[in-house]
Amino acid sequence: MAATKDRHGCLTTWLVLMIIVNALTALSYLGLTLFVRKTVAPAWALLVLAVACTANVAFAVALFRWKKWGFLGFLGTTALALVINLRIGIKPTFAIVGLFGIVILYAVLQIGGEKKGWNQLE
């Protein structure tokens, strides 16, 4: 009989927040691309970032389902966003701020004692 997996409240809250924020951010990137002729970033960058945010929603759902590839997906989209932000001219100190999300996700997966999320990922 398989052991029942249990998620602590901080992890649940963080994953829900990531789903909401990434969905809204993807919509805002698409809105900027479709409705604003001159923006602070090229249309291609906004489209790629919108796709990355949409993928992040899927990665958060994967983590809800205890799939380690969800975390690996967040690593990939975080690296992609860093490269794009640097490419479009965002200052490195501001671009690095984007790395905090993955650091917080990793930290939240590490807390919880018996409910520690990281150990329960498949």
Each residue's pLDDT tens digit in the chain (122 positions)?
457 888 999 999 999 999 999 999 999 988 887 776 666 788 899 999 999 999 999 999 999 999 999 999 999 999 999 999 999 999 999 999 989 999 999 999 999 888 899 999 99
**What do you get for the CA distance between the two ends of the chain, in Å?**
16
Q: How many domains does the chain have?
A: 1
pTM: 0.91
Angstrom distance (rounded) from CA 43 to CA 104: 29
Angstrom distance (rounded) from CA 72 to CA 63: 10
3: in domain: no
In angstroms, what is the C-alpha Rg of the chain? 16
Q: 24: domain range? A: 9-120
